[in-house]
Amino acid sequence: MLILDAVTAGHVAVQTAQRLSETRKKRDTGLLSSKEIKEWAGKCTSCEACLRTCPVDIHISDFMKDAKEGNFASFVDAKELCVGCMRCDYACETGIPITHVMDSAARNYTENYVGNVRMGRGPITDVEIRNVGRPLVFGEIPGIVVFAGCSNVPNSEREIAVMAEEFLKRNFIVVTTGCAAMSLGSYKDEEGKTLYDKYPGEFDAGGLTNLGSCVSNAHALGAAIKVAHIFAKRPLRGNFEEVADYIHNRVGVVAVVWGTYSQKAHAICTGLARWGIPVLYGPSGMGYTRLLVGRKDKPETFKGFDARSGDEVILDMCPDELITIAENMEEAIVKIARNVMRPNDGAKGRVIKISHYMDIHKKYFGTVPDDLHLYIRNEKDIPITMKDEVMAILEKTDWVEKAIPDPTMVERLVRK
Ligand code: SF4
Ligand code: SF4
């Protein structure tokens, strides 16, 4: 039945959820008995067809040998690595329902796998954008980090949570969608808390907002577009170029796609990049084989205009990547901190961003970034507590002070 009335649809959805909740509480988990697990495990021929197809190289036949002897404990390790793609089920010519055997053998793990996900809330409202737009455009809220993607890599739950918390603690706005949002609801700290338990849900500095399913990635982009529309009065209709120019030069958003699965995911990411939002893939993004990385060795490729004077200028090299890959979580965190910088950052905002970038680089790589001179426009951009250290670094480079333009890459936006 198609319900077109929104209020009726809301009533039906709530009542359906309430009724199903009782059924779910009573449901039989359907897990196999120990005898059934041993029987299935006894059929394994160690052909390794499942291993060859498993994206995370789980040695299923070893676990089957243990299970045949009645030892199921090792399946918990397999469950922690398994990304649930079910390729092994299809690969096994003996017909062993591998994932079902795994779930059943790790019964305690499976039955206690309960998360706590904040409700997906849909689009960011104009009122919320008005509250954060100004500090965002001038860099005082250091940025928005969007965690999306299929989370189908080992340890992705923990890694997404560690990355998100690094930026929540630093007062970034963190938003999430789809499987990444569920991962954040599954990973718990030593006290059994998820990030949803620890951080508020507001779209504001230090808030963690779940936008909804992966289709809601559009709402993350929508928030950036609304900043351009509300603050710069850029018309929305037929005005892609000017809005993308605004986002690219002023709105410090980075999308992190930690686990890629489909061509749809790549289509979403290239869509974000077209709007001037850098996208960072985890290691599995390697399969897409196409990146958009700036040539920092060729400053002339960052050419644009000062909208005040009309002069052609070399814009700040930030973001310096629009589609890129991080080989591990540490590299991703550093890249996020760098790619939230924007040519339009005010001095106060740039100071905040530089101090996070330096701090994060030292924390995860143990060194000061070697490209710092590219992001410091004049002495006002240097965090006061780091001044001596930064000046010593700058003196070893060809750094010279530069003016801060009103940045644009669209010549018709020059006001002169
Ligand atoms: S379901 Fe798990 S064990 Fe099976 S192929 Fe996928 S990741 Fe590997
Ligand atoms: S594909 Fe089936 S039979 Fe072959 S090793 Fe895996 S579980 Fe055993």
Give me the mean pLDDT over the 55-72 stretch.
91
Atom of ligand 1 minimally distant from the CA of 50: 5
CB of 71 closer than 6 A to ligand 2? no
Which ligand number lies closest to the CA of residue 78? 1
CB of 90 closer than 6 A to ligand 2? no
Give me the mean pLDDT over the 81-98 stretch.
91
Give the Cα separation of 223 and 45 in Å (integer): 53
Give the Cα separation of 43 and 58 in Å (integer): 18
Residue 397 tokens, joined: 């480079």
3-state helix, strand, coil in the chain (%, to 5): 50, 10, 40
Provide φ and ψ at 354, rounded to 5°: -65, -40
Which residue, chain included where needed, has tokens 């959805």? 13
Which ligand number lies closest to the CA of residue 79? 1
pLDDT at 73: 85
pLDDT, averaged across the chain: 91
Give the Cα separation of 194 and 182 in Å (integer): 11
CA angle 280–211–335, rounded 5-degree value: 20
Q: Chain centroid to CA 54: how far?
A: 24
Which ligand number lies closest to the CA of residue 86? 1
Q: Which domains does the chain have, with CATH numbers?
A: 34-111 (no CATH), 126-408 (3.40.50.2030)
> Helices (H) and strands (E) in the chain — how many of each?
18, 10
H helices of 148-257, in order, are 156-169, 178-186, 195-198, 217-232, 240-250
Encode pLDDT of 95-136 as tens digits: 999 999 999 998 888 777 788 899 999 999 999 999 998 888
Provide the 3-class DSSP secondary structure of residue 35. helix
Give the Cα separation of 68 and 39 in Å (integer): 7
Which residue, chain included where needed, has tokens 């319900």? 3
CB of 58 closer than 6 A to ligand 2? no
pLDDT at 134: 86
Give the Cα separation of 369 and 359 in Å (integer): 10
Does 27 have pLDDT greater than 60? no
Residue 323 tokens, joined: 């589609």
Give me the mean pLDDT over the 187-196 stretch.
93
pLDDT at 267: 87
Identity at 243, one-letter amino acid code: V
C-beta neighbour count of 48 within 10 angstroms:
13
Which residue, chain included where needed, has tokens 């059934």? 36
Atom of ligand 2 minimally distant from the CA of 88: 1
Say which residue, 76 or 132, is predicted with more confidence. Answer: 132
Percent of the chain with pLDDT over 70: 98
Give me the mean pLDDT over the 385-397 stretch.
94
List CB contacts of 345: < 8 A, sequence separation 6 or more: 138, 139, 252, 353
Residues with CB under 6 A from ligand 1: 53-56, 58, 60, 82-88, 98-99
Provide the 3-class DSSP secondary structure of residue 351. helix
* Contact predicate 117/185, CB 8 Å: yes
Encode pLDDT of 277-310 as tens digits: 999 998 888 777 788 999 999 999 999 999 999 9
pLDDT at 29: 65
Encode pLDDT of 233-257 as tens digits: 999 999 999 999 999 999 999 999 9
CA angle 380–383–387, rounded 5-degree value: 90
Does 333 have pLDDT greater than 80? yes
ipTM of the complex: 0.98
Separation of CA 26 and ligand 1 centre (Å) = 28
Q: Chain centroid to CA 226: how far?
A: 20
Q: Give the DSSP H or E segment for 23.
A: helix 6-26
pLDDT at 289: 77
Give the Cα separation of 270 and 343 in Å (integer): 22
Gap between the terminal Cα atoms of the chain: 59
Atom of ligand 2 minimally distant from the CA of 48: 5
Give me the mean pLDDT over the 173-194 stretch.
93
Give the Cα separation of 200 and 299 in Å (integer): 41
Give the Cα separation of 63 and 74 in Å (integer): 7
pLDDT at 28: 60
Separation of CA 279 and ligand 1 centre (Å) = 27
* Contact predicate 76/109, CB 8 Å: yes
